[in-house]
Amino acid sequence: MEDFREEFRVKGEELVEKIKQLLHEGNVSRLIIKDADGKVYLEIPVTFGVIGAILAPMLAAAGAVAAMVADLKIEVVRNEEPGKPGKDATG
């Protein structure tokens, strides 16, 4: 199975809200927070276990990164292309 990747550019103050939005959409397996030059600041593996108690400190860390860097990229790794329906029993 091939992962689908997409990138979003956000301002520092928008970072945490965008992460929350992406997590709410579902089908995200990993989030990678980078600066405009591609330097990775934070990589968040998203699994069912992460959604609980581990997520809050990661969002706090993302907020700290946002305070240091004005322009950021969020690379989103998904299991399948957004908006693409999953395979049904006949497919």
Q: Domain spanning 4-78 has what CATH number?
A: 3.30.1490
pTM value > 0.85:
no
Residues 34/41, Cβ–Cβ less than 8 Å: yes
Residue spans of the domains in the chain: they are 4-78
Q: Which H, E and C letters describe 29-89, residue by residue?
A: EEEEEEECCCCEEEEEECCCCHHHHHHHHHHHHHHHHHHHCCEEEEEEEECCCCCCCCCCC
pLDDT digits (tens, 9 = 90+) for 21-71: 888 877 888 899 998 899 998 888 876 555 556 677 777 888 888 887 888
